Every structure is written in structure tokens, then in C-alpha cells.
Amino acid sequence: MGLRERKKAETRAALSWAAIRLTVERGYEALRVEDIAAAAGVSPRTFNNYFSSKAEAITSRHLDRLVRFAAEVRRRPPAEPLWDALAGAALAGFEPGPEVIAHPVPDPVQWAAGLRVMVSEPALQGEMLRAGAAARDEIAAAVAERTGTDAALDLYPHLLAAAVLAVVDTVTTHHLRTGASAPVERLLTEGFAMVAAGLPEPR
């Protein structure tokens, strides 16, 4: 990635994180595009160059994470077992970026409560579904390359892509439901291990 592309990616990530932070702090309805742009240090016009709405800005972080997941699957060692590679790729996607380090999450319990309110917004739920659908084919293509299957003809890579999205979505929801008492990283590891084992009944 060249310098120009990297700067654009950084601006996009900063805008998305600012949108999330401000929504958690103020609520979705009270949030304005001007506030997001100011928090990211850019103009409203620049915001509109990247996103068509505040809902799209908020869910962009989720979409970018899923797209990076597919790229990370392709980078994992070829000899690594498939489910270990998938879990490792998912964990890499939840590593904090520089924008999060610059503006860290405050109290985890209050943050989780705010996120629960945020993701209950119908406009955001629709965008989240759209983000998952946009990333599904890319994940299936990465799985197909790794497993020697054909994403155009075979069911397997698409089933696995759907399973990946289900694990990530369920882990995120559970993390928020429990007030962030369990780290996302641990839940992801457990979730992928459960699915890889065929979801045996709890002992």
C-alpha cells in the first residue's frame, strides 16, 4: 500500500472510530456528521468523501475487520490447520489500531452498555447486515483458496464463511450482553474451537 492509500485508510478508520465513540457517548440521534468530522480532525466535506451516512461510518469498522479477516486467512501459514488459521485471522482483526490507541475505550462496562444501545438502532442493524453480506464472498474466496475448493461451484467455502460470520457476530453480541466481563479474544478462541469440534453438547 502506497503512502496516499495508507493515509486514506487511516482517515477512514479515524472517522469510523470517532463515529462509534460519539454515538456511545451521545446517542445515535444526537450525533451529527459535523461532530464526527471535527473529532477526526477533518472537514464535513472530507467525511462525505468517505461515507454517505453516519450509519455507514459507524459500521465501516466492522466491514473493514471482515475484509481484513479474508486477507489474513490468505497470509496464514499453509500448513496451519484450517480452524486454527480462521481463529488466528479473527483475533488479528480485533487488534486495536492507532486511532483506538489514541482514543482508548473508557470504563469497559459503561462502554459495553453504550455499544448495546448503539447496535439496537435499526439503521445500524441494516448496515451491519449489509457489511456482512459484502464481506461473505471475499471470505468464501479466501477459504476456497486455502482448501482447494471452488467458490463458484462448491458449497463448502460459503458454509464456512457463514460460520465465520456467525462466530464473530455471536461473540460480539455475547461480549456486550455480559458487560464486557469476558475478553473478546478469549470468546473468539472458544467460539471457533466449539464450531471446529462440531458444537458438542456442554458437559
What pLDDT band is residue 131 in, cutting at 50, 70 and 90? confident
User: Residue 167's pLDDT is what?
Assistant: 95
pLDDT over threshold 90, residue 20: yes
Show the domains of the chain with their CATH numbers. Answer: 55-196 (1.10.357.10)
Cβ atoms of 82 and 146 closer than 8 Å: yes
Q: Across the chain, what does the average pLDDT equal? A: 90
More confident residue, 12 or 106: 12
Amino acid letter, residue 144:
A
| 186/202: higher pLDDT | 186
Q: What is the pTM of this model?
A: 0.83
Helical H runs in 76-203? 82-93, 98-102, 108-119, 122-147, 156-177, 184-196
Q: What percent of the chain has pLDDT over 90?
A: 59
- Mean pLDDT across 127-153: 93
**65-69, 80-84, 188-192, range with the lowest pLDDT:** 65-69
Q: Is the pLDDT of residue 64 over 80?
A: yes
Q: Check whether 132 has a pLDDT greater than 80.
A: yes
Mean pLDDT for the stretch of residues 81-87: 94
Q: Count other C-beta atoms under 10 Å from residue 27's C-beta.
A: 13
Residue whose entry in the numeric block shows the C-alpha cell 473493514 = 64
Contact (CB, 8 A) for 127 and 59: yes
Grid coordinates given for 96: 486495536
Checking if the pLDDT of 1 tops 70, the result is no
pLDDT given at position 176: 86
What is the mean predicted confidence (pLDDT) over 99-105?
Answer: 77
Q: How confident is the model at residue 51 (pLDDT cuts 50, 70, 90)?
A: very high
Q: Which residues of 161-173 are buried (b: 16+ CB within 10 A; e: fewer)?
A: bebbbebbeebbe
pLDDT higher than threshold 70 for residue 185: yes
pLDDT of 168 > 80? The answer is yes
